Amino acid sequence: MSYYWKEVADLGNRVEVSSKNLAEYLRINPEPWRVADLERFAALHVELLDAQIAYVSFQHTKLA
Distance CA 16, CA 62 (A): 21
pTM of the predicted structure, to 2 decimals = 0.82
Q: Calculate ∠ Cα 37-56-42, nearest 5°.
A: 5
The per-residue pLDDT of the chain, averaged, comes to 90
Residue 38 pLDDT class (50, 70, 90 cuts): confident
What number is the average pLDDT over the span 24-33? Answer: 89
CA atoms within 13 A on the CB side of 1: 8
Tell how far CA 29 is from the center of its chain. 18
Distance CA 64, CA 54 (A): 16
- Residue 9's contacts (CB-CB under 8 Å, 6 or more residues apart) are 1
